[in-house]
Amino acid sequence: MSFPFTRLPVELAHEIVRISAAPDYQVPTAKRPTSYATALSLASTSHALRRLTMPHLLHTIVLESTAQTLSFISSLSFQRRLDRRSPLALDYSKLVRQFWCSECWEDHGPDGELDYAALYKIIRGVDLLGLSFYALHLLYNALDSSEADPRRDWKCQKIIFTGANPRWNPLRISHSGVDWMGRITHLMFWIPPPVPSEEPTSVPHWVAEIPFSDFTSLTHMAFPPISNDLSVPVEMVAHVAKGSDFTPAVFREWATSRKHGVVIPFQSPPICRVGEAQVRWEVPFVMGEASRIWAEADRLTKDA
């Protein structure tokens, strides 16, 4: 006997679609595609169910490989070519609220250049952007694309960087990159702890290389300290600006000193699989760990 879905109250039907369309990001990566199966089936049933399903499916984009990233950007290009009156047309810029990319190598094969302009229109307006330094070209090439104007239309103020090799020159050598840095208020780093030095609680060396002078709007900054635990980070050190006269130079002084900042434990720690050196940060991203850490930093700083 078929289930009378269309006879349900509208609110209940919407809630069923919302729960069914949400992927399970805590399952292993190899099994992740199956967690999208229900949402994709719903979206393929009818245009009405597609309109209900896609906002939930696209709310948080998590791309874990170059292939996934290329596929997503290809879908953006496809949408740009569609007639806006098509029932398949979607405004991704309004639906995507969080964007994460773990990996995308710049040498992406013989199929032509990526549509960085299409990507820019998505990431400029998200609430939270997470990006590996292994995919940094997505950001600086998007900022330099023909339709980009970060000084005027970049709205995303919160960024998470991950990856073992922080690098800033690709952003600093262009006006658009410098303009972008000036728009960021919340800067967080999810980087695995290096081998401890003689001072096991010292600050990672790469912190001193952050171009704080370019982050002129920065109010929040957080990173994992060095510890004797060589697994994944279990806590973050957060710094919060106080007062309207706060300058980037103060952030540099605080971040490179062990005397400042509040320590906040991870509640949704990243996953480090057995036999793999790479830490998987997708789970804390999806579980809202960055927002929780920043909110906790505000609370602790206010109470201090």
Within a domain: 298: no
CATH of the domain at 39: 1.20.1280
Within a domain: 8: yes
Counted domains in the chain:
1
Q: What pLDDT digit, counting tens, does each position of 218-242 carry? A: 999 999 887 655 555 678 889 998 7
Q: What pLDDT digit, counting tens, does each position of 64-119 carry? A: 888 889 989 998 988 888 767 776 778 888 999 999 999 888 765 555 578 999 99
Q: Please give the residue range of the domain that contains residue 19.
A: 1-24+34-58
Q: Helices H, strands E: what count in the chain?
A: 14, 10
The model scores a pTM over 0.95: no
Within a domain: 45: yes
Pairing of β 158-162 and β 128-132: parallel
Q: Examine the pLDDT at 46 and tell me if it is beyond 80.
A: no
Q: What pLDDT digit, counting tens, does each position of 168-190 carry? A: 999 999 999 999 999 999 999 99
Q: What pLDDT digit, counting tens, does each position of 273-290 carry? A: 544 456 778 888 988 999
Burial 226-254 (b: 16+ CB within 10 A, else e): beeeeebbeebbbbbbeeeeeebebbbeb
Within a domain: 168: no
Within a domain: 41: yes
Within a domain: 49: yes
* DSSP run (H or E) holding 10: helix 10-21
Q: What is the pLDDT of residue 137?
A: 94
Within a domain: 52: yes
- d(CA 295, CA 304) in angstroms, rounded, equals 14
Task: Choose among 266, 195, 191: nearest CA to 223.
Answer: 191
Q: What is the pLDDT of residue 203?
A: 80
The residue that leads in pLDDT, 220 or 258, is 220
- d(CA 210, CA 238) in angstroms, rounded, equals 15
- d(CA 224, CA 235) in angstroms, rounded, equals 6
Within a domain: 98: no
C-beta of residue 182 within 8 angstroms of C-beta of residue 152: no
